Amino acid sequence: MLAVTRLTLNQESALSGVQELPVLGWKIESADRNVRQTAYRIQVSHEQSFDPILLHGEWQECESSNNVALTELMMTSSQHYFIRVQVRDNYGKTSNWSPAAEMISGVLYPHEWQAEFISAETPVDKDHSAGTLLRKSFVLNRAQDIQSAFIHVSALGLYELHLNGRKIGEDALTPGWTSYHNHLLYQTYNLTDILEKGENVLGAITGAGWYKGDMGFSRHRNYYGEQTALISRLVINYKDGSQDIVVSDESWKAHDSAILFSEIYDGEIYDARREISGWCAKGFSADGWRPVSVVTHEKSTLVAQGSNTVRKMEELKPVQLITTPQGDTVIDFGQNLSGWVEFKVCGNAGDKVVLRHFEVLDAQGNVYLDNLRTATQRTEYVLKGEGEEIWHPHFTWQGFRYVKVEQYPAALDLNNFTAIVLHSAMEQTGYFACSNPGLNQLHHNILWGLKGNFIDVPTDCPQRDERLGWTGDAQIFCRTASYLMQTRNFFAKWLTDLRYDQTPEGGVPHVIPDILTGYCGKDRLLSEGGTHSASAWADAAVINPWTMYLMYGDTRVLENQYDSMKGWIDFMTAHAENHIWHYKLQFGDWVALDAKEGSYFGVTPNDLTCTAYYAYSTQLFAKAAKVLKRDADYQHYNALHQAIVRRFQEEFFTPSGRLAARTQTAHILALYFNLVPEAFRQKTTDTLVELLNEHNGHLVTGFVGTPYFCHALSQNGRIREAWDLLLKDDFPSWLYQVKAGATTIWEHWDGIKPDGSMWSADMNSFNHYAYGAVGEWLYRVAAGIEADEEQPGFKHFIIKPLTGGGLNWLETRYQSVYGAIGVRWEVSGQEVNLCVKVPANTSATVVLTGGETLLEADGVDFIRNAEGFTAEVGSGEYRLKYHVAG
């Protein structure tokens, strides 16, 4: 049986809003081994029944089953498309048609919008962050003839869309955060089944959000503008081919809402007594509503967001009710998360519910708010007093595990509280379990670090007055994130903003979207050192697109980012002296433990870190140029890379092979980025181990050294040391946090010190994914599922597990774009049982590291070599057994 089990568009099952034709990908399943696709054909229809067919593709003799361009379709705006595929394999079998993937086309040309950005606010409201209401009543006489109806909608600020009395869609915090002046996303919703004959009412609530709210640790409002505004275009397609269009324009009406205040950092105040019953239902009289004003914003910035909107992804119930020693009432949700608390309450009009959200209790078990800095994370709900009231905030979110209940007008019943977990909707692709519960919890914490911080933008942390797209954090965590979840479109969006916000010279801002440039007055470091181009941070411009290419195999990300990548390399070159690069403010090995007391800056010298990253990014860019067949660039940047490496070696290695900076991070970078003269590799590795031993096997590395520490060891024959480092559980270590009860990853190794005291409150997040970058080691090395850059996207890959750490078993599944790759190993004494699963239409090199005797080969031809045993396998499941040396 040959089947296509899933068809994707840009790796999603459905795209709601498409401006450019997506790429197709599909997952093939078969009971046979070594299955290869030999041909495929595609059909497209406006109908789910595929009758009539719009495009009947010919059979294509082709092995590609991912990143397949859908070239022949001529899209028109605001239409529904269903797509399916059928394949043949090398056994001559033909599959049935796949399940259909669907997409709704967006507004393909800016002039088609015919809509205005309309606002319920005036410039006088620039300092306010109240929500406002917008409404439009319209009549449909031919509702029975509707074929389909779609609305495209966006806002300056945030919006919630309503139609005929109900909220449309599951999304939150739309339209998300982008470099708004260049790139404003709109969402598309299917209203076909909601529109009614006669009167219909469209409504929207708008809020300040990132656009005009109070943002950044220097607290600046109005970074992008002073008035919220909505733009929408409703297209109703009738069966006879005609259309009705309802757009946002001056005919809409505006009013104040019950949201009196809503800010990303500070939460929301909502007075239910001010709700206007039926405000967006039919039969409502909008007398007394004010006119809207039209706001100017360039419509060519509008781009369809087909997927990955922020949504309610999970719900968690409280695990306990605490009365603190200071007498506060605290609800514990048992998990550090980002989102909202939804509650039910009964009381009198004017009664209040007031909640403060926070991450940790202090050493005495009291409420700890200091690390939130100026972010109040406070929600206030004023009851209308009409029976049971259910509420959650709208245009804000909180980062928390605990909630201090400051006011609640009734006896507190935990059943009335729910934590709603918000994050960008992405498919989970990584699953990990093993015999070490601490490591399982670490994996859980890394995953929740991602969930908590992938709220439209990859943020450093989700709770204090920051929540910014710090490039360094997103760079080091990118590979791990992409094992855990399908991040293709999430990062494509963010990289688009990176590209837009780059300086004309190619410098890369520290945060994307950039709201620091021009607004960091109170911050001495940034005002003196600048807001762009720090090594390891700015390198996100190159490393993240390359990682996307490796994980998903789509060259489009390299094409889209090519000039941005090149700009960054050229920026470094322009500011390098004789290939040693250094520039203004550098974060270096940020928050490393080898920093001077009270400092954030690790001791590894900046010129070493900068030049190491300069070499690495240049190498990746040269590879990208090669992939895109830009030969002149490839030659140039490849030569540049070699020159930087030579200079690095001259500058930082003594003639006898000692690395000038005797820090763990310097040795890690030199090894992982291949900057070590071959003759000194052994010595450099030995010194790294020495440096580890000097700290009793502990790391003292920061953001720069930590992600690659285990790799630098395991790639250089120090497998035992890599496992030992990973599994250390006393301070400082990953499992120290786990033992201390962490449910996400901390910003500092010493966020909570062994004596219970905390790192200074000015910078102490308990949900910072950066150190979770070790997650990739679990997938790439411990399970051994490694991409092959010659055939990216796991078309061909390497399975090379490294058993160790005293683990009896480990099991990992990675849902690649071709299907699930599985690895399970079990160790008993010297015997290793290994099960691997290779998806159809892919192949893998399986390496049995350290294998001495092959006990079961399951039909595979292994060859013996220095590493152990190696074989090339096609798709299928394999059960292997081998002995390793004692």
Cα separation, 398 vs 872, in Å, equals 49
CB of 585 to ligand BGC, least distance (A): 9
789 is catalytic: no
CB of 329 to ligand BGC, least distance (A): 30
Exposure string over 543-581, b if 16+ CB within 10 A, otherwise e: bbbbbbbbbbbbbbbbebbbebbbbbbbbbbebbeebbb
Positions that interact with ligand BGC (CB under 6 A): 460-461, 466, 470, 472-473, 587, 590, 768, 770
CB of 748 to ligand BGC, least distance (A): 10
Task: Name beta bridge partners: 463.
Answer: none
Cβ proximity to ligand BGC: between 439 and 770 the closer is 770
Cβ proximity to ligand BGC: between 363 and 525 the closer is 525
Cβ proximity to ligand BGC: between 171 and 465 the closer is 465
Cα separation, 697 vs 724, in Å, equals 8
Task: Name beta bridge partners: 237.
Answer: 148, 243
Cβ proximity to ligand BGC: between 615 and 770 the closer is 770
Q: Are 209 and 170 in contact (CB under 8 A)?
A: no
Cβ proximity to ligand BGC: between 389 and 466 the closer is 466
Cα separation, 677 vs 654, in Å, equals 11
790 is catalytic: no
Task: Name beta bridge partners: 590.
Answer: 601
Cβ proximity to ligand BGC: between 421 and 520 the closer is 520
What one-letter code names the amino acid at 265?
Answer: Y
Radius of gyration over alpha carbons of the chain, in Å?
28
Of 226, 359, 466, 786, the catalytic one is 466
What contacts 20, CB < 8 A, 6 or more positions away?
none
Cα separation, 268 vs 391, in Å, equals 11
Rounded to a whole number of angstroms, the distance between the first and last alpha carbons of the chain is: 43
Number of CB atoms found within 10 A of residue 757's CB? 10
CB of 461 to ligand BGC, least distance (A): 6
Least Cα distance to 228 among 98, 127, 360 occurs for 127
How far from 447 is each of 289, 440, 743, 751, CA to CA, in Å? 46, 11, 10, 19
Cα separation, 197 vs 202, in Å, equals 14
Dig out the tokens for 187 from the structure.
Answer: 């969402």
Q: Are 828 and 854 in contact (CB under 8 A)?
A: no
Q: Are 657 and 629 in contact (CB under 8 A)?
A: no
**Nearest-CB residue to ligand BGC?**
460
Cβ proximity to ligand BGC: between 120 and 461 the closer is 461
Helix (H, G, I), strand (E, B) or coil at 64: coil
CB of 529 to ligand BGC, least distance (A): 10
> How remote is the C-alpha of 253 from its chain's centroid?
37
Cβ proximity to ligand BGC: between 205 and 540 the closer is 540
Cα separation, 588 vs 613, in Å, equals 11
What one-letter code names the amino acid at 242?
Answer: S
CB of 743 to ligand BGC, least distance (A): 19
Strand order in the sheet with 819-828: 430-434, 809-816, 819-828, 831-838, 876-884, 851-856
CB of 619 to ligand BGC, least distance (A): 23
Cβ proximity to ligand BGC: between 512 and 817 the closer is 512
CB of 472 to ligand BGC, least distance (A): 4
Of 102, 389, 747, 776, the catalytic one is 747
Cβ proximity to ligand BGC: between 470 and 621 the closer is 470
How far from 5 is each of 16, 30, 84, 214, CA to CA, in Å? 21, 10, 11, 46
CB of 471 to ligand BGC, least distance (A): 8
Exposure string over 231-252, b if 16+ CB within 10 A, otherwise e: bbbbbbbbeeeeebebbbeeeb
Q: How do 2-9 and 53-56 pair as beta strands?
A: unpaired
Phi, psi angles (nearest 5°) of residue 98: -70, 165
How far from 650 is each of 50, 396, 607, 643, 670, CA to CA, in Å? 66, 52, 13, 11, 13
CB of 525 to ligand BGC, least distance (A): 8
Q: Are 569 and 542 in contact (CB under 8 A)?
A: yes
CB of 590 to ligand BGC, least distance (A): 5
Cβ proximity to ligand BGC: between 461 and 817 the closer is 461
- Active-site residues, by number, are 466, 747
